[in-house]
Structure 1
Amino acid sequence: MSRNEWLPPEQWVDRLPKNIAAACALFTDPTGRVLLVKPNYRGHWLFVGGMLDEGETPEQACRREVKEEIGLDVEFGRLLLVNWTPPMPERPLPLIVFIFDGGVIEPDQIRLDPGELDEYRFLEPDQALPLLSVNEQKRMTVALEARRTGATRYLSGGN
């Protein structure tokens, strides 16, 4: 596009590629079991977290979602994983997921939001896998490895 063809800012922004983003936290209990939550609007289990609101950073969204969903106001550890997944029929935009280290918590610290979540469980990773979507299975496996090794990971693609 030449200088003479520049668009007004609002038209330029409308033509930019679009992505959506989510931020989640990987929590474990003192024995190393992973915390999963069961939303009342999904058929599978998830990490605690959710979509970024407009203007929110991934850290802000994660903190807000954790406080809303399980009643904890925590400082997160480092970023464990960034995952880009392509559009799908039920989600026509690419999704970028950030997973932060939520640390170790005790089950009695959780105050579940019954308006959004049906239940929570702390599970061994092999027990958690069948409850998760294919993408969440990959995220959990890689996030646990990232926590163990200290290296932030990146995943691209998805099913």
Structure 2
Amino acid sequence: MFSNDVALEGEPEREFHPGIARRMAHKTVASGALIRDPDGRILFVVPNYKPHLDLPGGIVETGEAPSTGCRREVREEVGLDLPIDRLLVVDWTPGRGPWSDQVQFVFDGGVIPADTPLRPQESELTDVRWAHLMEADLRPSLRRRIELALRAVETDRTLHAEFGHLLNGA
């Protein structure tokens, strides 16, 4: 289906001004899954490359859809092959330090039993952890994004945010 849609688009456009596409801004796209247990705890990963907990997920590869990237990353990071379809939050975060600005997608990973076997990816993670949101050691922007994701689950609405702050007061 996807390849058919690409084919229907026809030949790629040529640049009217050579080199302009290379000079345009490029954002990083990341996707994470909000996975909960029946007690309302959230599944967090403990990365070995940053000081705070994070949602299972990661950077979307070039040419990969955000939902596909999320499913791939969850499978790679914790060994779960979950349906990733319902979008909860789209959030923009500014660049900081060596990192470019990002468009962050949070998808609903559903509710699974806390005793579900998990296989943390040894090359990126030191552990996985179930925790209630208020117990988790998170960057403030991620805490805000997860609060919005939980709100999106409750209201059945996809939310748009910038740096974890809801836009338009919705």
Identity of matched residues, %: 39
Alignment of 1:1-159 (within 5 A): 6-8=16-18, 11-91=19-99, 93-107=100-114, 108-128=116-136, 131-157=137-163
TM-score (normalised: structure 1):
0.88
Q: How much is the aligned-residue C-alpha RMSD, in angstroms?
A: 1.8
TM-score (normalised: structure 2):
0.82
Q: Deviations over 1:74-93 (max 9, x none)?
A: 112410000011222332x2
Question: Structure 2 CA distance, aligned partners of 1:42 and 1:157?
Answer: 18
The number of aligned residues is 150
- Give the unaligned 5+ runs of structure 2: 1-14, 165-170
The list of structure 1 runs, each at least 4 consecutive aligned residues, that deviate by more than 4 angstroms after superposition, is none
Q: What is the one-letter code of the residue matched to 1:154?
A: H
> CA 1:33–1:156 in structure 2 vs 1: closer, same or farther (change >3 Å)?
same
Q: Which protein has the bigger helix share?
A: 1
Q: What is the one-letter code of the residue matched to 2:75?
A: K
- Give the unaligned 5+ runs of structure 1: none
> Which structure ranks higher in relative contact order (CA pairs < 8 Å, sequence separation ≥ 6)?
1
Question: Structure 2 CA distance, aligned partners of 1:135 and 1:157?
Answer: 6
